[in-house]
Structure 1
C-alpha cells in the first residue's frame, strides 16, 4: 500500500530512500533490518480504497500507514482515520504531512505496537503489516469488540491463500477453519513483488475479512484445541489420529479433571447442574490460543498406538469412548483436510455430549 510498509520477517532486502509524494528532497531512508517496502503503484491504492467500500461516516483504522499516501486517500473518503504506526520517523512524517491541511483534525496517529495497543472503535480496518504478525493480528481483530464491518489487509500470498482455502484444497488447514468460523473471508487482489520499491522476495495478496454476526457460540479455546488435534496429520483418518497415545492421554486427563470439578461443584452447590456447555479448562482468551496459528500443518510429538499398549482397563475404556464418538457421527474414515465447518462443529458437539473436552 502506498505510504505503508511491508516488513518481512528476515528483513534482508536492501532499501533506499523513498522519493514518494509528500516527502522533502532528502526523503526517508527505510530500515534495511525491517525490510520496509513501499507500494509504488497508485492504481493499486485506488483499487484497495474502492474495494473497501468506505462510507463518508466511517471511522477507519489504518495499520502501518508509513509516510501517508494511502492515509490521504482514506481521509478523502472517510470521516476519520486512526493510524497505528510503530516507526517514530513515520509518525513524525505523518504529523508533518497533514498539519495545516483540511485533514489535520480528522487524523489521529497512535505510535506503538498494534499487538500491544488497545484499539479504539472503528468501522473498517485497512492494514499493510509485517508478515510475521499476520496470524496474531488477524485474531486480535476478529475478537475486537464491538465488531467492525470489514478489514482489508495485505498479507503474504501463501498466508492469504490459507485464509480463503476450502475443504480439499492443498492449503486448507487449521488457520482456514479457525478464521472462517469467525469471519467471511474473500480474496480481492494479487499484488506482485514488482509493485514495491524495493521489491520483496514474495508476492502479496489483499484479503477482505468480515466478522460474522452474531458471533459463533463456540468456546474459542476449546475449538482451537479440538482443531489442533484434528490437524496433527490432516490427511490421516480421524480414527488413526484419535488412537494416538499422546492424544488419548491428553483427552483423558481433561476428562478426569473435568469430572472431578463437576463432582466437587455438585457437592458444594447441591442441585446445580453442569452441562456440556461447561467452560473449557484453561485460558479463556481465545485469541491467545489461536494467535500462534501461522497456517502451517501442526506437528505434535505423537506415539502410535500398536493396539497392545492398554495395560490398565481405564485406558482401554476411555479409548473405546473416544472411538464410539467417531462411530456415532460416521467420522472414523474421514480426514480433517476434507471436513467442512459444519462437520467440525458437529463432531465437537458429539465429543462434548460424551463429556470429552479439548482444553
Structure 2
C-alpha cells in the first residue's frame, strides 16, 4: 500500500494500472493510494508521536502520510522499493523546512537492515503482511509501537482471542510477542485504485521484556497444535506423523544433551523470529488445516499398527508405542487431552510447552 497524492485519476486499460500525472500505480505491487486525508490524520494521531521520535515508514509512496509524519517527528526514515516513488517523494519535500529530516532508503523492506526507530507507521503491501510483522518484532532495540494498515481479515486474525473463529497460529505468535489492538476499519473506497478487500489499522506494541521462552520451541508446538485446531489435543498426539515427530525430536534432544550437556536448550531465540513469519496470511491465517502440522512429520515409525480416525488421519493402534504414551501422559497430567487449540490461551500454551520440555519432549526441530 502506498500513501500518494490525492488527484483525479483515469482508469488505464485492463483495470490494473492507474496513471496519475504520468505515474502508473500497480495493484499487483500493492500500490493503492490512501485518498482520505481524515484517515491519514487519524493514523498520525493514534501513533502518539513525540517531537523527539524517529519514525520508520514502510511504503511511503509519494508521501501523503510522510508529509504529516514530518510535521510531528524529529526524523522520518522511509523505505520504498519503487524508484519512481522515491523520486516523487524527494521532489515533494525538496526545498521545504522538513527536507533535512527525511531519510529515504530505496530497497525491499524484507531485505533491508533497518536502522534505529521509535515508532513504525506503514501502509504495507498485503501479500507480505506476515513477514513484515515478524521482521519488525525481531528488530532490536525494541521499538515503542507500530501503527500498520493490514488487510482486514489478517488484522482480525492478529487480534483474535481464544474461542474466536479467526484465532490461529498467527494470533498466538503475535500476541506472545506483542500487545495487539484494532484501531479502525478502513473501507476499500478510501483508496485509489480500490483494493478488493477492506482494511484495518492495528497497533502493535512489542512486549518488553519478552517472555522467557524458546521461540523456536514455542512455534514448533503451536504449529503442531493448530494443524487441526478444532480437534482435541489427544487426537492430534495420537496421529502417526505426530508420534513420529515426538520420537524424532526426543531422540535428537537426548543426543544433543549427551554431546553438549544441559546448555543444549538455553537459547530462547529472542532475536530470531523468522520461523514465525509464515504463521499466517491475509487469506489463510496459517492454520495449516490440511496436512500433519509441520515439516519432518512424514517419518515412518515402528511399534504399532495403524488405524484411521474420523478425519482420515492415521493413528497408532496395537502394541503400545512409548512415544505416543509419553505425549498423552503430558496432556493428561495437565488436563489438556480433551482441549482444543482454538480455545487455549497464551498461558495454556506456555504451561503445555513447559510440561513437554520437563519430559524431554521438544519441538524446535
| Common fold: TM-score over 0.5 | yes
Q: Aligned pair 1:298/2:298, yes or no?
A: no
> Do the aligned partners of 1:4 and 1:64 also contact (CA within 8 Å) in 2?
no
User: Judging changes above 3 Å, is the alpha-carbon distance between structure 1 residues 225 and 13 closer, same or farther for their aligned structure 2 residues?
Assistant: farther
In 1, distance between residues paired with 2:15 and 2:69? 28
Residue in 1 that maps onto 2:328: 323
Q: Aligned pair 1:336/2:348, yes or no?
A: no
SS of the residue 1:305 aligns to: strand
TM-score, structure 2 normalization: 0.87
Choose which of 200, 203, 206 in structure 1 pairs with 2:201.
Answer: 206
Q: Aligned pair 1:136/2:125, yes or no?
A: no
SS of the residue 1:218 aligns to: coil
Q: Aligned pair 1:87/2:73, yes or no?
A: no
In 2, distance between residues paired with 1:328 and 1:322? 10
In 1, distance between residues paired with 2:273 and 2:335? 31
In 1, distance between residues paired with 2:289 and 2:177? 24
> Do the aligned partners of 1:221 and 1:284 also contact (CA within 8 Å) in 2?
no
Q: Deviations over 1:69-100 (max 9, x none)?
A: 11000000110000000000000111111111
> Do the aligned partners of 1:326 and 1:332 also contact (CA within 8 Å) in 2?
yes
User: Judging changes above 3 Å, is the alpha-carbon distance between structure 1 residues 327 and 32 closer, same or farther for their aligned structure 2 residues?
Assistant: closer
Runs of 4+ deviating beyond 3 Å: 277-280, 283-286, 299-303
Residue in 2 that maps onto 1:9: none
In 1, distance between residues paired with 2:108 and 2:260? 42
* Number of equivalenced pairs: 332
Residue in 2 that maps onto 1:222: 217
SS of the residue 1:30 aligns to: strand
Q: Which runs of 5+ in 1 are unaligned?
A: 6-11, 19-25, 267-272
In 1, distance between residues paired with 2:114 and 2:270? 20
In 1, distance between residues paired with 2:80 and 2:3? 14
Which range is displaced more, 76-85 or 283-292?
283-292
User: Judging changes above 3 Å, is the alpha-carbon distance between structure 1 residues 356 and 194 closer, same or farther for their aligned structure 2 residues?
Assistant: same
Map of 1:197-276 to 2, 5 A cutoff? Answer: 197-266=192-261, 273-274=262-263
In 1, distance between residues paired with 2:360 and 2:143? 35
TM-score, structure 1 normalization: 0.88
User: Judging changes above 3 Å, is the alpha-carbon distance between structure 1 residues 217 and 351 closer, same or farther for their aligned structure 2 residues?
Assistant: same
What value does the CA root-mean-square deviation take over the aligned residues?
Answer: 2.0
Q: Deviations over 1:123-160 (max 9, x none)?
A: 00001111111000000000100000000000000000
Residue in 1 that maps onto 2:362: 357
